[in-house]
Amino acid sequence: MDPQRYAELFRSESREQLSEINRALLDLERAPGDVQPVTVLFRAVHTLKGMSATMGYTAVAAFAHELESLLDRVRNGEQGISAELMDVLFSAVDVLETGVDRAVDGMADAPGSADVLEQMRHVTGGGATAEFRALTGEYRAATAATAATAADMVAPVSAAGTAAAMAAAMAAPGSLDDGPGVLVRVRQSPDTMLPGVRAFLVIQKVRELGEIVAVSPPLAELQAAEVPQAFAFRLVTALSPAEIEKAVVAAGDVEHVEVSAGRGRQRAPVRMGALDEAASPVQKGTRHVRIELARLDTLMNLIGELVIARGRLMQLTAGHGDAALDEVMTQTGRLVGTLQGEIMASRMVPVWQVFDRFPRLVRDAARQLHKEIDFTVEGKEIELDRSLLDEIGEPVVHLLRNAVDHGIEAPEVRETHGKPRVGRLTLSASRERSAVLVRVRDDGRGIDRARVLARAKELGMVGADVARLDDDLLFRVIAAPGFSTAAVVSDLSGRGVGIDAVQARVRQLGGTVEMETEPGRGTTITLRLPQTLAIVRAVLATVGGERYALPLTHVRETLAWSPEAVQRVQGKEVLVLRDEVLPLLHLREVVRAPGVHADSADIVVLERGARRAGLVVDELTGQQDIVVKQFDGARDGLALFSGATILADGRPALIVDVGSLL
For the annotated catalytic residues, the residue numbers are 46, 68, 402
- The runs of H, that is alpha helices, within 459-539 are 471-478, 498-508
- The Cα 448–Cα 584 span in angstroms is 32
CA 78 to the chain's CA centroid: 37
What are the DSSP calls for 62-101, one per residue? Answer: HHHHHHHHHHHHHHTTSS---HHHHHHHHHHHHHHHHHHH
Strands 423-432 and 373-378: parallel
Helices 195-207 + 7-30 axis angle, to 10:
20
End-to-end CA distance of the chain: 59
407 contacts: CB under 8 Å, gap ≥ 6:
423, 425, 442, 444, 445, 446, 522, 523
* DSSP state at residue 629: B
**DSSP for 554-616, written as a single string:** GEEEEEE--TTTEEEETTEEEEEETTEEEEEEEHHHHTT-SS---SS-EEEEEEETTEEEEEE
d(CA 316, CA 533): 28
Concatenating the DSSP letter of every residue in 400-443 gives HHHIIIIISPPHHHHHHTT--SSEEEEEEEEEETTEEEEEEEE-
- Check: CB of residue 385 under 8 Å from CB of residue 334: no
Q: What is the DSSP letter of 351?
A: T
Contacts of 579 (CB under 8 A, 6+ apart): none
